[in-house]
């Protein structure tokens, strides 16, 4: 709700600037930043992405091992099935189903954990980027810096796009 009001306010400011002519518009200094691009392209974002990829690859290897174990257990169960008494067959099938459910829960938990890590890393980077944006806005006398988002701002001139500068300043601060 707050964000909607911010965008509506920003739109009103922009419309007011255009409405009152070039004298007010000339005094209005506007910039925009593609925060998602900045998160992805800054050094911290690239490092975070690589860390997540490594973790996913590690978990994929573990998942393949667990799947092989389940497959071997299933094949063994299928071979023994005709020879087993009904009670023993039911017990073995229940053990297999339990292990299968355990594997599925393990997979879901890992996917959720990785997703949460990615979100947390991106949130931390975005917080740092917002501080840089505020600093640039204050130091350079911007009246308004908008988030470049195609759903909300379908066009923004490259001359007001601050994304590359924000990335550069953020990376320098992190060194």
The pTM score is 0.73
Q: Phi and psi (nearest 5°) for 167?
A: -60, -45
> pLDDT tens digits for the chain (175 residues)?
555 554 555 555 555 555 555 455 458 899 999 999 999 999 999 999 999 999 999 999 999 999 999 999 889 888 887 888 888 888 888 999 999 999 999 999 999 999 999 999 999 999 999 999 999 999 999 999 999 887 888 888 889 999 999 999 999 998 7
C-beta neighbour count of 77 within 10 angstroms = 15
In the three-class reduction of DSSP (H, G, I as helix; E, B as strand; rest coil), residue 157 is classed as coil
Instruction: For residue 125, give both structure tokens.
Output: 């980077």
């Amino acid at each position: 709700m707050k964000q909607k009001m911010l965008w509506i306010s920003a739109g009103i400011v922009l419309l007011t600037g255009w409405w009152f002519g070039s004298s007010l518009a000339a005094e209005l200094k506007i910039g925009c930043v593609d925060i998602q691009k900045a998160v992805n392209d800054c050094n911290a974002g690239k490092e975070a992405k690589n860390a997540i990829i490594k973790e996913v690859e590690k978990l994929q290897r573990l998942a393949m091992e667990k799947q092989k174990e389940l497959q071997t257990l299933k094949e063994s169960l299928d071979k023994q099935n005709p020879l087993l008494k009904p009670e023993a067959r039911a017990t073995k099938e229940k053990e297999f189903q339990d292990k299968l459910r355990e594997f599925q829960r393990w997979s879901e938990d890992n996917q959720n954990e990785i997703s949460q890590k990615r979100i947390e890393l991106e949130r931390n980077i975005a917080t740092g980027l917002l501080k840089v944006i505020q600093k640039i806005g204050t130091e350079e006398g911007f009246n308004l810096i908008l988030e470049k988002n195609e759903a909300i701002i379908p066009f923004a001139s490259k001359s007001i796009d601050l994304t590359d500068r924000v990335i550069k300043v953020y990376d320098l601060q992190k060194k």
